[in-house]
Amino acid sequence: MIDRVNPLALARAAILPAACITVMGYFAFHAISGNAGLIAWQGYKTERAAVDADAAKVGAVKAALQRQVALLDPHHVDKDYADERVRRDLGVVGPNEVIIPLPDAK
C-alpha cells in the first residue's frame, strides 16, 4: 500500500530549512557586497592609503612648526630666526640689506 504524502506536512517540514537557507543567504550576500563586505574592503584599503599619505604630510608640517616653535622658545630664542621673523612680518628692510630667501627645510 502506498502512503500519500500530506502536502501540508511537507510544507511544515520545509519551512525551517528554507528559513535557515534564506538567513544564510542574507548574511553571505552582505558579507560579500554589504557596507563592510569584501568588495567594500578593497575601497577602504585605497582610502586608508590616501589618509596615511595625508597624515604623513600633516606630520611633516607639524614637525616644521615644532622646529619653529623651538626656535622661538622664550627661554632661549634663536636671535637670527627672531630677527628674520620680525623683518618678514613687519616688512622692515634697510636700504643696504640684501634678502636671500632660503628654501624651507624638509
Contact 24, 30 (CB under 8 A): no
pTM over 0.85: no
SS (H, E, C) 44-91: HHHHHHHHHHHHHHHHHHHHHHHHHHHHCCCCCCCHHHHHHHHHHHHC
Which amino acid does the sequence have at 24?
M
For every one of its 106 residues, what pLDDT tens digit does the chain have, with 9 covering 90 and above? 567 778 888 888 899 999 999 999 999 999 998 888 888 888 888 899 999 999 999 999 999 999 888 888 888 888 888 888 888 788 787 778 777 777 775 5
Which amino acid does the sequence have at 102?
L
CA–CA gap between residue 89 and residue 81 (Å, rounded): 12
